[in-house]
Amino acid sequence: MLSINPFSQLAASIPVSFLQFFVILMVLLIIIGTGLDMLHKKNVVYFFRNAQKAKKSAKTELSAGKKTAVILKTVASDIATTSELGFGKRRLAHVLGMYGTILFWITSVILIFKYSDGVVAPSYIPIIWHVGAIMTCLGGYWFWFFLRVDVSAEAHPWYRIITADLFVLALLACATFGLAWSFTQTAEMSVLSYLFLILFIISNLVLFGGVYWSKFAHMFYKPGAAIQKNLAEADGSRDNLPPPADAPEQFGLGIKREQPKHY
């Protein structure tokens, strides 16, 4: 199962051009949804105004080399390894889901555009596709059942669903139904295979078509916010916030008495 390209078998009954058009449509939905989200929430306007304000209150003018170094460090630390979450279960679950999704999406595009028209894909590419989906499921379900703030800290039931959960649920549905479709296709369970294929298609439409209503667009905002924050710390503007207090601890352990659970 892991080394079989599920899209090549699908291409035997569905034109390859249709599969490729579907991928292009999903990309267009991301662009349209993110654009509408930016217009509605005015995120870009906020970031631009905040950057202009920080520039006026900067204590040091950063050279191009220093800015590049700060940006590269932010990409390598805050973005690539989500260091802002610290060392712990939340960070591990996030990294599993993030890199699993990246592998799942990239290999999907490769398999559909390059290896779905009769050309046999190297076995490692379908393996990466399946491993990416499994990683997405591991990180996503771990987060959903055990690490969500409203579940672990606010005592809400795990099945409580709000609009903000659309992204993670649709993403988990894509990975889950994709794996189920691949397995049933390999096992020649034709009825179940078509069922899971339909569910896989629907979950993709919900995921990419629901960008405007979900947290999908946050994937594009958070890197920009992290870069702006670190640049503000480097030039001394600190987003117009006061510097951390340089005073000795004098009130005992305080919140360090227990493992933090309130985010």
**Domains in the chain: boundaries:** 6-235
Going 38 to 110 to 106 to 11, the CA torsion angle's sign is: positive
How do residues 67-92 score in pLDDT, each as one tens digit? 888 888 888 888 888 877 767 788 88
DSSP string, 214-245: SSTTHHHHHHHHHHHHHHHHHHT-GGGPPPPP
| Residue 251 pLDDT | 57
pLDDT at position 31, please? 92
Per-residue pLDDT at 49 exceeds 80: no
Size of the chain, expressed as the number of residues it contains: 263
Burial 235-246 (b: 16+ CB within 10 A, else e): bebbeeeeeeee
pLDDT of residue 147: 78
Read off the pLDDT of each residue in 189-208 and give the average, rounded to a whole number. 93
pLDDT score recorded for residue 247:
60
- As a whole number of angstroms, the distance between CA 173 and CA 194 comes to 16
Side chain identity, residue 2: L
Q: Which residue is it, tokens 């699908």?
A: 10
Interior CA angle at 217 toward 110 and 146, to 5°?
Answer: 90
**Looking at residue 257, what is its pLDDT?**
60
